[in-house]
Chains A and B, each alone.
Chain A
Amino acid sequence: MTAAVLVVEDEPIIRMNVVDDLTDHCLQVFEAGTAREAIDVLIAHPDVGVVFTDVNMPGDMDGLALAKIVQERFPSVRILVTSGQRKIPAGEMPPGAIFLSKPYSHATMAATILDLASKSMTAGNEKLGH
């Protein structure tokens, strides 16, 4: 079974579009509007293998802070980061995280997430203490 995907984006219409696109690719998709909500989803759904997060988000955590927590608490989860404001250098993201610049083509986005989801499945999904 392919791993589930969590889409973290505070603009509901963009989120809707991404969620529908991934659902059309037969992926199970969860969504969150803030980093806090995302962590709740990750705890409730251990089958999530990929997190696709925007950087700029309201609340006390942005997408980069979320990526760091995901790497620490859910190390098997693959991370894809996106931003329209600046290009995030690899050094600012957890090792192995990928950056996708906004605006992106939905085909590229979906292909990247499908690839990560298949890798996540092979890596297993064991949780290290959350």
Chain B
Amino acid sequence: MPGKFKPASLNFLAGGGEMGERIRAADWSASPLGRPETWPSSLKTLVQVMLMSGQPMFIAWGPERVMLYNDGYAPMCANRHPWALGKPFSEVWSDIIDDVGPIMDAAYAGVPTYMDDIEFLMTRHGQQVETHFSFGYTPVYDGQDQIAGMFCTALEITSEVIEAKARKAEVLRLREMFEQAPSAIAVLRGPAHVFEVANSAYLRLVGRSDVLGKSVDEIMPDLLQQGFGELLDRVYTTGEPFIGAGVPMRVIDAQTGALTEHVMDFVYQPMRNSDGVVDAIFVEVADATERHKAERMQAVLNQELAHRIKNQMAVVQGIVNQTLKGTTDLAAARRLINDRLGALANAHDLLVRGEGERASLRQIIEAAIKPYGRGGERRIAITGADIEIGPRAALSLALILHELATNSVKYGALSTDAGHLAICWETGALDGKAALDLRWQERGGPPVAEPSTSGFGTRLLRGGVTGAVNTVELTYAVEGLSYRLAADLENVLSAQ
């Protein structure tokens, strides 16, 4: 009875989920494969294996390469499923036949192929997407020992491949950041400290580009002599990082061979392998030479400033003592003290505004004259090419000019409208050295007589510029007072 025979002969089609059902329900009589019960035993066996397996598989059978596939393979077919069942391979995969056709041809020629990662552009849900598969194409022989078909086990690895690509991009991005980092970075592999990685800043620092694969010993023997070799060895053996801040380092310029002193900030960080054993050292070096220089300069400036403030306190003390000395008119003394300290304060102001604690000589002179100048009413001529003078000279000159100006307003050329004052300066020579030659000349005022006693002002004028070798001429001529100051230019310009 045919009814009894049929179920027994189709046991190989049992199970297999949706695809099992579809294969069982399909009408194979019009197919080149014919009805399932007529299929050769090798095909029957393969179909049974395929339907029972969870792994994506398909079979291409016969010269038409008719496709049979399981539930696992159906998602790979995407919208070709379920249409693809029983269709020729070349028709199903017409869009990628140029890629997979040769592999299929090879299997039909008896050559199996295994491919780890094949990229296909597939149309899925109406969109072109990048997919990745690993494939095994195995030729299958029939009862006549002829190749009758091909059996394929496939595995979609798109998500794994995309993940790996993302990881690779991440590594490249890190490497790029590393390469562009402003500080010099290198990785030294093994106990001999062989350069495995060195970024461009590092190559610039050592002045050569051929460090990779070479040991520290070969590249920088001079540094090893400075104790950095022992330091690397210690970090490697103890696994303790070393952080050096402001460490002096003598570096040989690879191009010129010149030895230069640098100050470096650096880190030797041990790197451990998956077993936790140190197998490399991460090195990061930043050249701190410029910063260090600036810090040292700042320290010197601070020290100078502290010294000057102490000195100025003594000067203020001196001004107060000298002004109060032997005076009975306290109100007048208070005014004098205020004016003298005011002149000093103005000069400090000019110093602070000037670049690098210097002041313009012309501004110092103008500041001293300003309270008495009253615009063009008085004839005051100031001539000379402006120079920037040092702080000690500026403060000292401000006081000298203040005394000259107040004296002139009280007794000299500035006490009458007819008087005039000429202040001029030039740079000349004093005892064979460059000197600032400054003259103060009063004319047209009341007749001048030399004072009988030597007061603060006179003594200050005779003292000349503080901190400078100078000669002073103070002349009380009848037609007007004249004061000439010749001071060593180097001293006057000095920052001390």
Contact = CB atoms under 8 A, between A and B. Distances in A.
Residue among A11, A12, A14, A15 with the highest chain B CB neighbour number at 10 A: A12
Contact of B319 (A13, A20, A84, A103): A13
A85 B305 CA distance: 11
A17 B317 contact: yes
A84 B310 contact: yes
B322 A17 contact: yes
Interface string B302-322: 010001001101110111011
A16 B463 contact: yes
B311 A20 contact: no
A84 B321 CA distance: 20
A103 to B, nearest CB: 6
Contacts of A17: 314, 317-318, 321-322
Given A20-B322, A84-B307, A103-B310, A11 B317 contact: no
A14 B318 contact: yes
B307 A16 contact: no
A20 B488 CA distance: 28
A111 B314 CA distance: 19
Interface residues of A, number: 19
Contact of B463 (A20, A33, A56): A33
A61 to B, nearest CB: 10
A17 B314 CA distance: 9
A74 B146 CA distance: 128
Interface string A16-38: 11001000000000000110100
B491 A16 contact: no
A12 B464 contact: yes
- Band of interface residues on B: 20 to 34
Contacts of A13: 314-315, 318-319, 322, 399, 460, 463
A74 B496 CA distance: 31
Given A17-B321, A17-B322, A58-B491, A10 B314 contact: no
Contacts of B462: 12
Interface stretch (B154-162, B274-282, B466-474): B466-474
Given A33-B464, A85-B307, A14 B459 contact: no
Contacts of A14: 311, 314-315, 318
Contacts of A12: 396, 459-460, 462-464, 466
Contacts of B303: 85
A89 interface: no
Contacts of B318: 13-14, 16-17
Chain A interface mostly? loop
A11 B464 contact: no
Interface in B449-496: 456, 459-460, 462-464, 466-470, 488, 491, 496
A84 B322 contact: no
A96 interface: no
Given A12-B463, A20-B325, A103 B314 contact: yes
B490 to A, nearest CB: 9
Interface in B290-308: 303, 307
A20 B266 CA distance: 59
Interface string A30-66: 0001101000000000000000000010110000000
A11 B164 CA distance: 78
Contact of B466 (A10, A59, A85, A102): A10
A114 B149 CA distance: 126
Residue among A13, A17, A33, A103 with the highest chain B CB neighbour number at 10 A: A13
A20 B321 contact: yes
Interface string A80-115: 000011000000000000000011000000000000
Contacts of A103: 310, 313-314
The 7 closest A-B pairs by CB, nearest first: A12-B463, A13-B318, A17-B318, A58-B491, A59-B469, A11-B466, A58-B469
5 contacts: A11-B311, A12-B462, A13-B315, A20-B325, A103-B313
Interface of B: 303, 307, 310-311, 313-315, 317-319, 321-322, 325, 396, 399, 456, 459-460, 462-464, 466-470, 488, 491, 496
Given A10-B467, A20-B321, A20-B325, 15 more contacts: A10-B468, A11-B466, A13-B319, A13-B463, A14-B311, A16-B318, A16-B459, A17-B321, A20-B322, A34-B469, A36-B469, A56-B496, A58-B469, A59-B469, A103-B313
